[in-house]
Chains A and B, each alone.
Chain A
Amino acid sequence: GQQVMQIPQYQHVQEGEDFTTYCNSSTTLSNIQWYKQRPGGHPVFLIQLVKSGEVKKQKRLTFQFGEAKKNSSLHITATQTTDVGTYFCAGSTSTGKLIFGQGTTLQVKP
């Protein structure tokens, strides 16, 4: 079946360092969405990418959608302790279902 692979599973960085997580889908996606889940919390919607090659920025966060609409990345510049959490990508299929990646848990050392 359809799969979305996300790497790395864990990332420990020093505050101020950059961070990137990558997603790769086995099939072409309708769109891709990114979520952040803090420990003990629920996934919170960050952004949706729809167009091939799309790049969107939210302050220190940069999201990219690949040309083939099968891969995506989230890059955080100059991480802060408030960035701690697990970042999930989720690929949307034509049926509306979301297929979640395994998530990347980010730890930031002050």
Chain B
Amino acid sequence: GAVVSQHPSWVICKSGTSVKIECRSLDFQATTMFWYRQFPKQSLMLMATSNEGSKATYEQGVEKDKFLINHASLTLSTLTVTSAHPEDSSFYICSAYLPGPGTETQYFGPGTRLLVL
């Protein structure tokens, strides 16, 4: 299957700093990538849809100025958590989208665990 990488896998930062997370599709081009957040013992919640060459689309309740998304190429999307606070501590997971007629699939990265102190 398709491979998606994320970097870093772990990050610990102080409150008020910004953290950038990279999501790369290694063996295919993805015009669309998705960013999810998962709190402990909860399901994945879609944060935003990242589209190459255009602005990201954010889900209701997600602050676009706090979670900056840039999809500069067909293989790379970045999520920047600006002025991080302890409540932003979570597991952030990206996925790269492969379209198809009814067979569309998302391939998930390994996730980034963020701890804000």
Which A residues are closer than 8 A to B by beta carbons? 30-31, 33, 35, 41-45, 48, 50, 88, 90, 92, 96-103, 105
Question: Could you pull out 11 A-B pairs where Cβ atoms are within 8 angstroms?
Answer: A31-B102, A31-B103, A31-B104, A88-B43, A90-B44, A97-B34, A97-B49, A98-B106, A100-B44, A100-B45, A102-B42
Cα(A102)–Cα(B39), bound, Å: 12
Total contacts A to B, CB within 8 angstroms? 54
B56 near A: Cβ within 8 Å? no
Given that A88-B44, A103-B43 are known contacts, is A42 also in contact with B111, CB under 8 Å in the complex? yes
Distance in angstroms between the alpha carbons of A96 and B102 in the assembled complex: 9
Known contacts A43-B93, A101-B43, A103-B43; A96/B32 CB under 8 A: yes
Q: Complex: how many Å from CA A45 to CA B105? A: 9
Give the Cβ gap from B41 to chain A, nearest Cβ, in Å: 8
Taking the nearest CB of chain B, how far is it from the CB of A88, in angstroms? 6
Which chain A positions have C-beta within 8 A of B107?
Answer: 45
Q: Which of B8-43 contact A (CB under 8 A)?
A: 32, 34, 41-43
Report, as a range, how many residues of chain B touch the other chain.
Answer: 20 to 34
Determine whether B67 belongs to the interface, using a CB cutoff of 8 Å to chain A: no
Residues of B within 8 A of A48 (CB): 103, 105
8 Å CB contact of A33 from B42, B93, B102, B105: B105
- Taking CB atoms, residues of chain B closer than 8 Å to A43 are 44, 93, 108
In the complex, what residues of B have CB within 8 A of residue A42's CB?
91, 93, 108-111
Q: For A44, A96, A101, which residue has the most chain B Cβ atoms within 10 angstroms?
A: A96
**What is the bound-complex CA distance between A43 and B91, given in angstroms?**
12
Distance of A100 Cα from B91 Cα, bound (Å): 15
Q: How far is the CA of A42 from the CA of B113 in the complex (A)?
A: 11
B99 within 8 A of A: yes
A45 in contact with B111 (CB, 8 Å): no
